[in-house]
Amino acid sequence: MNAVEKLVAESARPLVLWTLGAVTVIFMAAFSAVLTPAIEQVAGGPPPDVVLWQSPQQFAAWLVRGGAEVRRLYGWFLLADTFYPLVYGLFFAALLWKLSMGGKAWHLAVYAVLADYLENAMHAVILWQYPRFPDWAAWVAAVATPLKWGLLAVVLLRAAYLWWQGRRR
């Protein structure tokens, strides 16, 4: 058992799992109620992290349209999004661990977190390089974002399936 698997197994304990779930919801509420609306107001559209697909050209236009204020707010968004994937990833990994009784389904949550960090890193590179716009980073982010959302959808579907299977026993 490697260090990540040990952490996931320990996090599947009921109190830890419930705490991770609560912190995940708090993070989601903060993003939904504070950060995302502030960015939408300035930029006229949501941050690229919450859009299923955004071409590099659309992302560049979003940055220009929002000006310095959207870049500042989005920088704070990315800072908060440094911690959020750890929280939701550990929550979903531990949930899948518990529902699959130690099976390997928990790896799916780790892959979603890795895609999220890849997306965030590319967006950070773009902000750091501004006003230059590295197309390569925008294209990597454009692929990482739907990959993240797709993996999260698979995680939720797998968790629902495992829960349903457990209820049938």
**Over the chain, what is the mean pLDDT?**
94
Closest CA relative to residue 157, chosen from 105, 113, 121? 105
Coil, helix or strand at residue 50: helix
Q: Which residue has the tokens 């993996």?
A: 151
Rg (CA), the chain: 17
pLDDT category at 159 given cuts 50, 70, 90 is very high
* Tens digit of each residue's pLDDT (9 = 90 or more) over 43-55: 999 999 999 999 9
Q: Is the torsion defined by CA of 29, 113, 126, 145 positive or negative?
A: negative
Residue that has been written with the tokens 């629902």 in this structure: 160
Of 104, 112, 98, 108, which is closest to residue 147 (Cα–Cα)?
112
Sequence-ordered alpha helix ranges (H) in the chain: 3-11, 14-30, 36-43, 56-99, 107-129, 135-168
**Distance (Å, rounded) from C-alpha 154 to C-alpha 120?**
20
**Residue 89, both tokens:** 């990833």
Separation CA 62–CA 51 (nearest Å): 12
Rounded to whole angstroms, the Cα distance separating 130 from 70 reads 12
pLDDT in tens, 134-157: 999 999 999 999 999 999 999 999
Task: Check pLDDT > 70 for residue 1.
Answer: no
Lowest mean pLDDT among 63-77, 87-101, 155-169: 155-169
Token digits of residue 120: 């965030």
Q: Which two tokens stand for residue 19?
A: 């705490």
Token pair, residue 13, equals 């304990």
